[in-house]
Amino acid sequence: MNKNDTPQLSNRELEVLTIVATGASNQQVADKLFLSIHTVKKHMTRIHNRLGVQSRTEATMLALKNGWITLPGHEKEAKDVTSSLTDTPDLNGTDTLDAAESRISEAVDEQTTEQPESEIELPPEPNMYLVAPSLHYMARWQQIYLFCAIFLTLGLMLFPLWPQSKTEAVYIPLHLKSESIPTVAPTVAPAVPQNWAYHTELRMPRAQLAVVALDDTLFAIGGSDNQNQATNQVDIYDPTTNQWHDGVPKNEATTYMNAQVISNTIYVPGGCNVDNEALDILEVYNPMSDTWRLGPTLPEPRCAYGSVAYEGELYLFGGWDGQDYTDTIFVFSPISDTWRLLDSHLPEAKGYLGAAVLNDDIYVVGGYDGQDEFDQTYTFSPQTDEWTEKATMQFPRGSLGLVATSNRLYAIGGGWEIPVLVSEEYDPATDSWSSFEIPFDTAWRDMGIAVIDPQIYALGGWNGEEIMTDVVSYRFVHKYFVPISIFTPN
């Protein structure tokens, strides 16, 4: 990699690496940037992978050498350090990586030690064995920091004993936002999420992708890549080996679409292409032969819709037709190989909604119409074509992931202008939603989602800064209703 090459790192990763270059630990980086330590570790893993290095030292030296980062307070000296490195022999020659790192470190040390101590304030060298450093050897700011930390710790210990009322996160609808109404941040997810697990990442960043589970295998289809361009890539994940392998790419590169399984066949209708145009195609994938074919075209182009497989047919709700958000319902029958348009319509025109089948009802949840997000929950009866309104979610959610399993609905992620940092679980018996954590302390939407009992898998998505490669799963708790009868003898 040449000096003038642009590093494949996000702004947040460069921030993390800049602080790491000072000798800070992961916890210190987390405190400095107000992140969880898990998020910092994830950033460091991505930095190592993208720079092709094995350690923090290698990553720091490579970034300093190429001028991607500078030590805080030493921007001027960094130029001299960089120039002093131009005579460094090529690592492909006789020099070793350790020798090169040594020269880089010496050059940095030489530049920094030339400045008076009053102008340079370097953090202490980390020492895992030094539990209580002497105040005599600590800088003034370190002493202040230590006393503040002690008082903060005591305050946190006593805080649970103080009488307090339970508060909930406040969501201010977009149409009510004004300078006179403060915006209150949503509830932040815990640093170590309960019941979540992390798996081998996607081999490329993906968002707005279609994900289905078939025979305990996940199929990740299409979506947007790290350049926000539609892709036709198909990746297949085996949870037993925690490994990914290639599937045959679909014919058309598409994003903002769903996929459904009917009779061991995967159906992928519509989507938006690389020019962001809504499509009317139906692509059909046979996992046994790893082949694609085209099915009959949709009645109209659609992307960003909600879909379910119900009683051997494919239902498609709302979405974007290339011009407007719609309230239409399409139904595809694989037996007759035809589409039909229902007379019934969605309660409102919208896209980016969630749809799932629970207890013989089709649930349609959330969504976005280009201006507002929705928190409504509806059930649709295919037998009567009637809609019934249920309890609203705690937060409006657009571009969420919705699945039904274990007699519950799970609404994961979502949120456009105001990210939603908790997920929600719906209990049909009580017609109520309750919240649970997500595995990130950032925005999270446009992920692909599917169930392999007893886990809900969520793949990729958008975190507010970049398209993600993360693969996570949530282990839900089975809930069974056990009838109890009381026998009274005559």
- 63-67, 119-123, 446-450, 479-483: lowest mean pLDDT where? 119-123
Q: Give the mean model confidence (pLDDT) for residues 47-66.
A: 85
Residue 15: which pLDDT band, with cuts at 50, 70 and 90?
confident
Is 218 inside a domain boundary? yes
Which of 62, 88, 113 is the last residue in one of the domains?
Answer: 113
pTM strictly above 0.75: no
Which of 89, 113, 137 is the last residue in one of the domains?
Answer: 113
Is 19 inside a domain boundary? yes
Predicted confidence at residue 489, as pLDDT, reads 44
Residue 111: which pLDDT band, with cuts at 50, 70 and 90?
very low
Lookup result for tokens 């020492």: 127
DSSP state of 136: G
Is 466 inside a domain boundary? yes
- First CA to last CA distance, the chain: 89
Is 317 inside a domain boundary? yes
Q: Do both 268 and 364 map to the same domain?
A: yes
Measured CA to CA in angstroms, residue 75 lies from 64, 80, 81, 108, 245 at distances of: 11, 9, 10, 12, 45
Smallest CA-to-CA distance from 166 within 181, 151, 187, 152 is with 187
Is 147 inside a domain boundary? no
- The percentage of the chain sitting over the pLDDT mark of 90, rounded to a whole number, equals 54
Q: Residue 135: how many CB atoms within 10 A of its CB?
A: 10
**Above 90 in pLDDT, residue 239?**
yes
Is 167 inside a domain boundary? no
Decide which of 484 and 300 is more confident: 300
Q: Do both 101 and 250 map to the same domain?
A: no
Is 488 inside a domain boundary? no
Predicted confidence at residue 30, as pLDDT, reads 81
Secondary structure (DSSP) of 75-132 = HHHHHHHHHHTTTPPPTTTT--HHHHHHHHHHHHHHHHHTS-TTT--PPPPP-TT-SS
- Check which CATH number belongs to the domain holding 25 and give it: 1.10.10.10
Predicted confidence at residue 154, as pLDDT, reads 65
Q: Do both 300 and 204 map to the same domain?
A: yes
- 17-31, 304-318, 415-429: lowest mean pLDDT where? 17-31
Q: Do both 71 and 205 map to the same domain?
A: no
Tens of pLDDT, residue by residue over 380-392, are: 999 999 999 999 9
Predicted confidence at residue 155, as pLDDT, reads 61
- 67-71, 245-249, 459-463, 476-480: lowest mean pLDDT where? 476-480
Encoding tokens for residue 10?
């996000």
**Above 50 in pLDDT, residue 302?**
yes
Q: Do both 98 and 210 map to the same domain?
A: no
Q: Do both 94 and 238 map to the same domain?
A: no
Q: Do both 324 and 216 map to the same domain?
A: yes
Which of 60, 78, 113 is the last residue in one of the domains?
Answer: 113
- Domain membership of residue 19 as a residue range: 11-113
Residue 27: which pLDDT band, with cuts at 50, 70 and 90?
confident
- Check which CATH number belongs to the domain holding 373 and give it: 2.120.10.80
Count of the separate structural domains present in the chain: 2
Cα separation, 264 vs 65, in Å, equals: 54
Is 136 inside a domain boundary? no
Predicted confidence at residue 46, as pLDDT, reads 81
Q: Residue 348: how many CB atoms within 10 A of its CB?
A: 15
Q: Do both 293 and 397 map to the same domain?
A: yes
Cα–Cα–Cα angle for 207, 284, 271, rounded to 5 degrees: 35
Q: Do both 383 and 245 map to the same domain?
A: yes
Q: Do both 107 and 230 map to the same domain?
A: no
**Above 50 in pLDDT, residue 163?**
no
Q: Do both 91 and 206 map to the same domain?
A: no
- 69-78, 171-180, 188-197, 310-319: lowest mean pLDDT where? 171-180
Q: Do both 94 and 208 map to the same domain?
A: no
**Above 70 in pLDDT, residue 110?**
no
Tens of pLDDT, residue by residue over 260-290, are: 999 999 999 999 999 999 999 999 999 999 9
